[in-house]
Amino acid sequence: MPEQQFFGAPASPGLAVGVAWRPAAEFETAAPVGPERREAERDVALAALQRTVEVLYELAATLPAEEAEIVETGAMMGQDPVLVSAVEKAVLAQGLSAAQAIVRVANRHADAIAAIGDELLAARADDVRSLGRRAAAVARGKTTDVSAVSNAVLVADDLGPADVAEFASVLSGIVLAGGGPTAHAAIVARSLGIPMVTGAGEPLEAVRDGALLVLDGSSGAVVVDPSADRARRAAEGMHVRRLASARASELRDEPATTTDGWRITVLANVASAAELDVALGAGAEGIGLLRTELAFLDAERWPTRQEHAEVLDSILGRLGNRPAVVRVLDFGADKSPPFLHGVPQRGLELLLAHADALADQLRAILAAAQRHEVRILLPMVDTAAQLARTRELLEDVAAELGIDAISPMGAMIETPTGARNADEIASRSGFLSIGTNDLTSATLGADRFSANDTQAHHPLVLRAIARSVAAAHDAGIRIEVCGEAASNPLMLPLLVGLGVDELSVGAARVGHVRAWVRQLEMKHVAGLARSVLTMDSAEEVEWTVRPLASELEARVAGPAPIAPVGS
């Protein structure tokens, strides 16, 4: 059969080839349940929900912290009293079977959430539908048997994060008719390294089970019935990526040094011991961003000193003599626990308004710093005055604990205001860190949850980074980048060329970034960085840097992305 091609949204990078596989249908139509059997059927439904919740928590335990939190939140939905009550009524009052009641109620809840029109809530809608499908299968005594499945490209309308985690071992890729790059399923797929395309729409309905598919999670292209040559190149791409991961592990003790001897420190962004283990295995030289808030997103109150200490000990104890940058709670925006919903402040501004809570965390960090090499990072810093207030609180806590040597305290540059004040902020900091996600969205006025991380190479953002680097070096301190741009092959040469000292990246990207740094010449990328600062658009910057970025990607990802059918 001739090749057919269609496009969706790129959601998780990489090439994949495999046979189309659709998990079993949710449930078959069933006759109404008679009154005499409804209470028993109700019990089946509730037991199925409870068992599904248990399975989801078991799956979450196998994932890194950020992805585990997503799956755990989905599990909590299975215990939502409103949903549970609605399932009971659907069985007792309407005579629906347990499976029918669960799916119908879950879909209604999901539709209501999606109708609100919020992108983050829309991701939760997919999770609720996934919960309903899984619990309905349990109610019927049927679960998806993946033992006979291998090298599959999962094809579905939508998918929940737990589904991705459960099927990961048999999947080469995922294509969804709906969803988007910010959906929770996509976040988990990226974490597990599974290429994924979302939003493929109607063309996906015509894909037959068992058809050979090639997908490019970087461009969104999907090819049905690919030519032998195209399938071979995709398979080579998968193989090369696996080899690159293995090679990164072999070279984990080799420094990340440019071809002309410029040394870059590569650290890891982590929130759990599992992530740290992955990062250290790939050669991470420590933690560049410990996201302490992710452990407390379901908290009903501010965490205590003891709770902070337990989180720190579980992670820092695995570091040995490596350093760690511990960020104080960055609550606010999309990271608000229930007791802070609706509160407009974020980051350091929010913490300074709750100084007692900040003091408790500082007590735990300073205590941990007596056993480990720790730097303290303050989020969303706009002014030196904020640093001065925090420094005063830190010194009070240190005096209270009888600690003379206080850990270095640094500021995150994440706003245009912070970048403009970088000189003054740097003069009062022990180090600086650039959060490119927020800096990009604030500088360009973009949605932080869109694909705007690819616009970190906009000249306006690059100039803000350059100002921050210059301010740090003028003050004689080091500067790191801990946002998504640090592992973007288009941005990496520019960051190195601008003089960034440290790069902190996701655990799964540590090996790639270290390998890329070793392929750069500092003299070349410094000149490249100077030239793009004078440009007018992101497109002009990309046109200039793309050849080098493509070369870096090719060393890790193997063959080039999917070319248009017929080319």
Residue 146 has pLDDT above 60, yes or no: no
Q: Name the residues annotated as catalytic.
A: 184, 482
> What are the sequence ranges of the domains in the chain?
1-23+144-228, 30-139, 247-411+489-557
pLDDT bracket for residue 191 (50, 70, 90): low
Least confident of 41-45, 123-127, 152-156, 530-534: 123-127
Least confident of 163-177, 387-401, 521-535: 163-177
Residue 109 CA to residue 410 CA, distance in Å, equals 44
pLDDT bracket for residue 51 (50, 70, 90): confident
Q: Which residue in the block uniquely carries the two structure tokens 């706003």?
A: 415
Q: Which residues partner with 480 through β-bridges? A: 433, 502
Residue 247 has pLDDT above 70, yes or no: no
Q: Which of 38-42, 94-98, 384-388 has the highest mean pLDDT?
A: 384-388
Domain spanning 30-139: which superfamily? Answer: PtsI, HPr-binding domain (1.10.274.10)
Asked if 214 and 226 count as a contact pair (C-beta separation under 8 A), the reply is yes
When the candidates are 3.50.30.10, 3.50.50.60, 3.30.70.20, 3.40.50.2000, the CATH number that belongs to 1-23+144-228 is: 3.50.30.10
Residue 120 has pLDDT above 70, yes or no: no
Residue 77 has pLDDT above 50, yes or no: yes
Report yes or no on whether pTM surpasses 0.85: no
CA of 368: how far to CAs of 45, 313, 324, 371, 395, in Å? Answer: 47, 7, 11, 6, 16
Of all residues in the chain, the percent with pLDDT exceeding 70 is: 84
Amino acid identity, position 424: E
Residue 191 CA to residue 561 CA, distance in Å, equals 20
Query: What is the rounded average pLDDT of the residues 283-300?
Result: 86
Query: What is the rounded average pLDDT of the residues 375-379?
Result: 97
Asked if 457 and 542 count as a contact pair (C-beta separation under 8 A), the reply is yes
Residue 433 CA to residue 43 CA, distance in Å, equals 54
Terminal CA-CA length for the chain: 17
Exposed, middle or buried by CB within 10 Å (0-12, 13-18, 19+), for 202?
Answer: exposed
- Which class does domain 247-411+489-557 fall in? alpha beta
CA of 548: how far to CAs of 252, 312, 418, in Å? Answer: 24, 39, 31
CA of 229: how far to CAs of 130, 143, 341, 562, in Å? Answer: 36, 37, 53, 11
Q: Which residue in the block uniquely carries the two structure tokens 């990526």?
A: 241
